Amino acid sequence: MSSSSPAPRIRLLVVDDSAYNRRNIADIFLNVPEVEVIGKAADGEEALRLTTLLKPDVITLDLEMPRMDGFTFLRILMSRQPTPVIVVSSYSQKENVFKALELGALDFVTKPDRQITPDATELREQILSKVLVVKNWRPQALVPHGLRRAAAPSGPWTPEGRPTPVPAAQPVFQQPRHLVAIASSTGGPSALLEIFSKIPATSGVGIVVAQHMPDKFTRTFAERLDRRGPVRTSEAQDGDRVGLLTGFVCPGRQCMEVIRNASNDYVLRVGPGAPTDRYVPSADRLLKSAAAAARERCIGVVLTGMGDDGVEGARQIFFNGGTVIAESQETAVVYGMPAAAVRAGVVSKVLPLPAIAEYIAGLS
């Protein structure tokens, strides 16, 4: 009679310059059999030594530390020994968080201040759930998202990174020829930055995004996407029109839908999630509405992330004659949402991230 061996535990390294925070983060996992805290570090230099010695499966990382900060640590770590990193950062460090994601961090957790107290139940649960996500991550997908440099978008550019001003003869508002609706979660920010950086000024798309992200971060994230290329991107507001080369990110703790108005323009409806929404923002709700609004001109994209949000929306796009693209296992940091869409049989193409970026860039 054979007995199966227990699953290996996730080996966690905690990095924070506060001894109080190090202890409280480690205590989260005291009664979690899937996770073993194998070490604690007070700065980036110590973290690099322990990473080389202990080879953790995942690291929680503070960004502001003496001697070597979190950014320098990330650069060196991802070039030497790519490892999943969960950034634990304050609400005031929005730009720093996205900089860390671009350097290769897998995800982030926000804290209201410098200290992580034992009674911060929601924060502790978030840290636990994001560390456990490592069971499903794709090792070979981590480095391309973290270290791949974005190609410069085609077309003339101003020093500020915005496109050359549009000639006066061109209409101020034009409808997009294709509506691209994107669903993404864990690993999604860096994937979206890559996609937006590849879209040329000649593209015929308008883009709407449901990215699972806290509400205090979606505006900053939209601003970073805006600086990546000619797609004028912002956090969505109720009543916004989706025009040619415009992009909208659903606000955190809200849901977004696309409808047609009396002039047949694509218009956004933004409001609180409904009791039936399993996720907020809801990729399913966004993709379903995009399918109804754009039909065969709708391109649904399901990127990296846990769970199955977006599958029902992808189904609507697929059966309405649109195109559904799922990110391949080759590049998805977490092959959850794309895999669910593939299993449901509602996917037109399965492509690695660079090919998805090229496909969208080629839509005219």
Please answer whether residues 321 and 295 qualify as being in contact, where contact means their C-beta atoms are separated by less than 8 angstroms: yes
> CA-CA distances (angstroms) from residue 294 to 242, 259, 320, 335?
12, 9, 9, 27
Per annotation, catalytic residue among 43, 57, 107, 185: 185
Other beta carbons within 10 angstroms of residue 11's beta carbon come to 17
Q: Which three-class secondary structure state does DSSP give residue 170? A: coil
Active site residue 62: no
Calpha distance 199→228 (Å, rounded): 9
Contacts of 175 (CB under 8 A, 6+ apart): 206, 243, 244, 264, 265, 266
Active site residue 185: yes
Residue 216 DSSP class: T
Per annotation, catalytic residue among 43, 62, 226, 309: 309
Please answer whether residues 305 and 194 qualify as being in contact, where contact means their C-beta atoms are separated by less than 8 angstroms: no
What secondary structure does DSSP assign to 275-306, as a single string? TT-SSSS-HHHHHHHHHHHHGGGEEEEE-SBS
Please answer whether residues 194 and 303 qualify as being in contact, where contact means their C-beta atoms are separated by less than 8 angstroms: no
Q: Which of 190, 132, 222 is nearest to 332 (CA)?
A: 190
Q: What are phi and psi of 172, to 5 degrees?
A: -65, -40
Calpha distance 292→307 (Å, rounded): 24
Per annotation, catalytic residue among 107, 178, 184, 212: 212
Other beta carbons within 10 angstroms of residue 95's beta carbon come to 11
Calpha distance 162→152 (Å, rounded): 12
Residue 154 DSSP class: S
Other beta carbons within 10 angstroms of residue 118's beta carbon come to 10
- Is the bond preceding residue 352 a cis peptide, omega within 30 degrees? no
Residue 169 DSSP class: T
Active site residue 145: no
Question: Which residues are part of the catalytic machinery?
Answer: 185, 212, 309
